[in-house]
Amino acid sequence: MAGNSLPSLGRVKLCDLIACEGLPSDSYKLSVSTLSQSLAQYSAAIIQFPSSDGALLRSGLDSAHLYFHQRASYPAADMIHNNESREWCKTSGYYADPQQWQETYDFRPGLTPPESNSGLEFPPAGLPDIFSLLGKAARDILDAISFYLNLRSSPFTEILDNVPLRSREISSSVLSVCCYGRPSFQGPQHHNLTTQEDGQLVMFSDHEHQVDKSLITLVKSDKAGLHVRDFHGRWVLVDGDLGPQEAIVYPGLALYQATAGYVGPALHRTEISNMQGNMYGRCSLAFKLMPKSMTSLNCSEMRAAGHGVEAQFQLPVPVDDFMQRSHPTEQLFNRNNFPSFNFPTAQDGRLSVFK
């Protein structure tokens, strides 16, 4: 990894990651460096939104509390999610995974949720505004990573959705409103227990190691519990001290593929213990910036920037095939083997460090 190690998760203001015409400002270079170093070390970073945006995120979480609280204690059979990868770009509306004690409402512009058997149903409030806010932030973050890798401006535009969507287009990206461990939700509640260093038992879902297939994921939760595996293989609680206008960002498998492995995907798990006395469970807003299904992930931009591309990344991979393919997480555990972020090099080959 380039530069000095960060003592903790990097914190970056979103406004400092927005690119402007002309030469990059010192604040932009510093913010991009902090973001990228944090992703390299911790596979995650903290993004600070303006206070007005923080109010929108807070209201979205409050609405999520009420939405899930009023739902039945056990979902109908057609609402149980079977994790069908072929439907990765078609999820919309409510579904549940009782095995994981998790409920989700997916908001996907351009796709109308299926009608509920229980009659008229109102989704959580403010989802279009939250989708727009987090979607714009995810693209700004993706552009910042591109700058750090010395790629051309907006190199991933061809694989992203149009802004705004054109007639009859369906968004590939999705905003998932999630609820973990709602006390009134009667799932099988099969979970794994792990022991912390202080001897306390902490409960996680059965799928202990999860990797998103997104390019970028932004998550805002109402309480701490998101753990991400860092560069040294240690599990780090990444949302333990977030402010009301702060969210977590981490990269997914699609970005790993598109950058020839230079940006490692985050392995994460969610803590669902310590819910005593909590009537709502743990709610979160998760925006996943996804590539379009009819495009391909290739590393041509990385080659054009002078980065070495290993054999496994040489051929373009159709996005739809990539999303349906299984990606064993075992090969991601040894993070020391990952190519890591490097500062752009000068023409004479010396390391060019942002100043």
pLDDT of the chain along its 355 residues, tens only?
445 689 999 999 999 999 999 999 999 999 999 999 999 999 999 999 999 999 999 999 999 999 998 888 777 776 776 555 567 888 999 999 888 888 999 999 999 888 766 656 789 999 999 999 999 999 999 999 999 999 999 999 999 999 999 999 999 999 999 999 888 776 554 444 444 444 444 555 545 679 999 999 999 999 999 999 999 999 999 999 999 999 999 999 999 999 999 999 999 999 877 655 577 889 999 999 999 999 999 999 999 999 999 999 999 999 999 999 888 776 655 433 334 444 444 343 333 333 3
* pTM of the predicted protein model: 0.88
Q: Give the whole-angstrom CA distance, residue 132 versus residue 68.
A: 23
- The neighbour count for residue 320, using CB atoms within 10 Å, is 18
> Length of the chain in residues, anyone?
355
Cβ–Cβ under 8 Å, residues 179 and 106:
no
Instruction: Encode the chain in three state secondary structure.
Output: CCCCCCCCCCEEEHHHHCCCCCCCCHHHHHHHHHHHHHHHHHCCEEEECCHHHHHHHHHHHHHHHHHHHCCCCCCCHHHECCCCHHHCCCCCEEEEEHHHCEEEEEECCCCCCCCCCCCCCCCCCCHHHHHHHHHHHHHHHHHHHHHHCCCCCCCCHHHCCCCCCCCCCCCCCEEEEEEECCCCCCCCCCEEEEECCCCCEEEEECCCCECCCCCEEEEEECCCCEEEECCCCCEEECCCCCCCCEEEEEECHHHHHHCCCCCCCCCEEEECCCCCCCCCCEEEEEEEECCCCCCEECCHHHHHCCCCCCHHHCCCEEHHHHHHCCCCHHHHCCHHHCCCCCCCECCCCCECCCC
The CATH architecture of the domain made up of 46-333 is Sandwich (2.60)
